A and B are shown apart, each in its own frame.
Chain A
Amino acid sequence: MARPCAVVGIGQTDYRRRLEVSLEGLVRWAALEALADAGLTFADIDAVVIGKAPDLLEGVMMPELSLADALGAVGKPIHRVHTAGSVGAATAISGATMIESGRYDRVLVVCYEKQSEGNATWALSGGRSGGQGAGGTFAPWIRGYIKRSGAPEHIGWKVAVKDRRNALRNPHAHLRIPDISLEKVKESPMLWEPLRFLESCPSSDGAAAVVLASEDAARRGPSKPAWIISHAKRSEYSSFPGRDPIRPRAGVDCAEALYRKAGITDPLRQIDCAELYVPFSWYEPMWLEGHLLAAQGEGWKLTDGGATELGGSFPVNPSGGVLSSNPIGASGLVRCLEAARQVRGTAGEHQVDGARIALGHAYGGAAQYFAMWLVSSELQPELR
């Protein structure tokens, strides 16, 4: 059966525009930092798993080939994952498969995006000019959520302010807006009704890396492991009559499978904090409900009441989230590694006090791909 697997090393670059480093330099930066954190070198790594969003974003086809040298993969297996926006979390889960199967003891997982070397909105519009971009895809479903839940319009602004305030505590964050306020968000230009400019994610560069290890290897390392106590993935069609794109069944099923595997019955209480993939402000309440952390129609009330703030009862995106940094292909792995930082107690200025169990999450495509993991400070945490 599945062998336990832990995060034993974490690395990430700053997520601003990185015109001074090549793609090789970017991924190697994150990889070396993760290895140093784990007290390892490339020589200790059995296999490398790499993930990113569409190759068209940088115009490099199958970049695992040209990045193999920079990632110390020569002579080893290198495996390349692509599952749209969920890819960062999906890549972490593929890495966990490598360990859990018994095949490898130490796996390096690296994800990246370098939006400054391409045109993501062009690529996300199917390689056609004048496309709607990701915001244009999601805005009608956000309007549907508002109509269905009766949420007031300031909820989106509150998420935008909270995540940007959190970002000021995270030195890696791309957007730093010290004077962020509800007024400022509300007055920013409307992009896709109801999403305003400051309710949308930035175009970031960056790489993130984790070293995953078997139980034996994890206990031998110098750093405190974050144990992966559960992970789940679910996917569904992008469109068909009867699909609910506001509350996709794949997201509900994925969360159910995730909690069941960990023995969690009351996720909002038993999980201490979450890094959710929120590229547009309204996705915070939408995923709180869509992943069973709140009842239908109740998610926005958690946001409105301050529960999701750092210091609240269920902090969401203490790192500043995708709204503050979006190296697309890496963003899901950043959610997963930020969850791991929380339970290791190494999240610095954005640490959630006493976090024992944390959720890392990503979604992609037409809100149809979901990948999540739960990490804990203990291999078999007592659920309270």
Chain B
Amino acid sequence: MTSSPGRPVAIVAAASALHPVYHGPEATLVMTCVNEVRQAAGVDRVDFTMAGSCDYLAGSPFVFVMNIEGMGAWPPIYESHVEMDGAWALFEAWLRLQVGDVDTALVVGSGRPSVGNQREVFSLQTDPYTMAPLGLDPVSLAGLQARALLEAGIATEADFAAAAGRALPGMDPGDLLAAPYFNDPLRSHDVATPTDGAAAVLLVAGDRVAEFTDTPVWITGMDHRVESHHLGLRDLTRSPSAAAAAAHAGAADGPIDVAELMVVHSPEEIVLRNALGLGADTRINPSGGPFAANPIMATGLMRVVEVARRIASGEARRGLAHASSGPCLQQNLVAVLEGEL
């Protein structure tokens, strides 16, 4: 069972801190974003804080414990943490605000993937008994998905290049196709490079929104779904979980001016556009998407930030932000954002 929000919730401020390689602690990235949204909204203390990050990027347990140093946790704060992209922290915060016992919530996603070899690290995401021993890493898995799309006649390598080219304005996709294969059928430009970084949004519920901003961005719907972990049980050319998340988030209730999709391997864009029913009227990844910046564990929340910025500026009225986790888009989240209702 799902239902529409019990209490309207809006994003009143957003921030990001992105670095190809950041040579300081992750907590500083967090603090930079937290301070920026607090200043923008003119608030010191918030009622509730939700963070998303992943110990494994740094190969050390309890990395998130250090991150709390960047969140202003004194006096003690009411907070929680998901070992997921910050987009899922947004989901829990959005629900907590609907409960009605808190009015303001800070949401942060952060990661410093430069400290490890993430292609190796993420192979530990697969089933530990049957898949991880094979060393199946995300790029190889994305290659399987790409191959499935090509063989089904759903996409061509030129489609992959066009998706990757969104972050390379002025680049002729034909020139991209001249590059050698990295992992056949993927070329280097088909794989988003990890970035160090953090993103944050400040949420406010109900009639208090006007205290904080003149340009609220309302989260009118949000949902996420997971699929089987076993690739043999999935049709890799489709994403029923993304389609279900979009349906339950109410994506089809109006036109989508802009969509920011968490496409970290270019073939994923083709799968997602079909699953989300995005047509020619929707601008996709005007920011360049994860090909422009891929701050692992904040990449999904960054999609929300990018859509919110475009709605707050008046560039778009209604938009869709997407986040994903797991091999070949196993898990997908969709948030629908709107300007003044």
Query: Which A positions have Cβ atoms within 8 angstroms of B?
Result: 1-2, 22-23, 46, 53-62, 64-69, 73-84, 90, 93-94, 97-98, 100-105, 123-124, 126-127, 232-238, 240, 248-250, 253-254, 257, 365-366, 368
Contact = CB atoms under 8 A, between A and B. Distances in A.
Interface in B216-234: 223-230
A61 B56 contact: yes
A126 B76 CA distance: 24
B166 interface: no
B100 interface: yes
Contacts of A236: 68, 73-77
Contacts of B126: 65-66
A61 B81 contact: no
A61 B62 contact: no
Contacts of B327: 65
Nearest to B129: A22
A82 B297 CA distance: 14
Nearest to A2: B99
Nearest to A65: B326
Interface in B69-84: 69, 73-84
Nearest to B79: A235
A359 B246 CA distance: 39
B314 interface: no
A80 B73 contact: no
Contacts of A237: 68-69, 73-74
Interface string B81-120: 1111000100110011011110000000000000000000
21 contacts: A54-B61, A55-B61, A56-B56, A59-B128, A61-B124, A62-B54, A65-B327, A74-B227, A74-B228, A79-B224, A83-B81, A102-B3, A102-B6, A232-B78, A233-B78, A233-B80, A236-B77, A237-B74, A253-B75, A365-B62, A365-B65
B61 A127 contact: yes
A232 B62 CA distance: 21
A65 B56 contact: no
B59 interface: yes
Contacts of A69: 228-230
B125 A81 contact: no
Given A84-B65, A253-B75, A1 B56 contact: no
Contacts of B62: 54, 84, 126, 365
A80 B77 contact: no
B92 A79 contact: yes
B121 interface: yes
B77 to A, nearest CB: 6
A208 to B, nearest CB: 18
A73 B244 CA distance: 13
A71 B191 CA distance: 31
B325 interface: yes
A77 B223 contact: yes
Nearest to A90: B80
A233 B79 contact: yes
A189 B121 CA distance: 39
Contacts of B56: 55-56, 61-62
A97 B128 contact: no
Interface in B50-69: 54-56, 59-62, 64-65, 68-69
Contact of B96 (A97, A105, A238): A97
Given A75-B240, A84-B62, A65 B330 contact: yes
Given A22-B129, A77-B223, A236-B74, 6 more contacts: A46-B2, A64-B226, A73-B226, A80-B84, A103-B98, A234-B77
A61 B240 contact: no
Nearest to B122: A61
A250 B77 CA distance: 8
A5 to B, nearest CB: 10
Given A101-B6, A236-B73, A66 B127 contact: yes
A238 B230 CA distance: 40
B2 A65 contact: no
A341 B213 CA distance: 47
A237 B74 CA distance: 7
A176 to B, nearest CB: 30
A62 B125 contact: yes
Contacts of A93: 80
Contacts of A61: 54, 56, 121-122, 124-125
B226 A249 contact: no
B128 A235 contact: no
B332 to A, nearest CB: 10
A260 to B, nearest CB: 12
Given A59-B128, A61-B56, A73-B226, A235 B76 contact: yes
Contact of A103 (B76, B95, B127): B95
Nearest to A67: B229
Contacts of A232: 78
Contacts of B152: none
B180 to A, nearest CB: 30
Contacts of B96: 97, 101
A208 B191 CA distance: 39
A80 B82 contact: yes
A75 B241 contact: yes
B331 interface: yes
Interface string B1-28: 1110010000000000000000000000
B76 A75 contact: no
Contact of A66 (B64, B82, B92, B229): B229
Given A101-B96, A253-B75, A65 B331 contact: yes
Contacts of B132: 60
Contact of A124 (B61, B127, B229): B61
A234 B78 contact: yes
A1 B99 contact: yes
A227 to B, nearest CB: 16
Contact of B3 (A60, A67, A103, A250): A103
A67 B330 CA distance: 12
Contacts of A101: 6, 95-96, 98-99
A2 B127 CA distance: 38
A68 B228 contact: yes
A234 B2 CA distance: 29
A22 B129 CA distance: 8
A62 B84 contact: yes
Nearest to B121: A61
Contacts of A238: 65, 68-69
B95 A82 contact: no
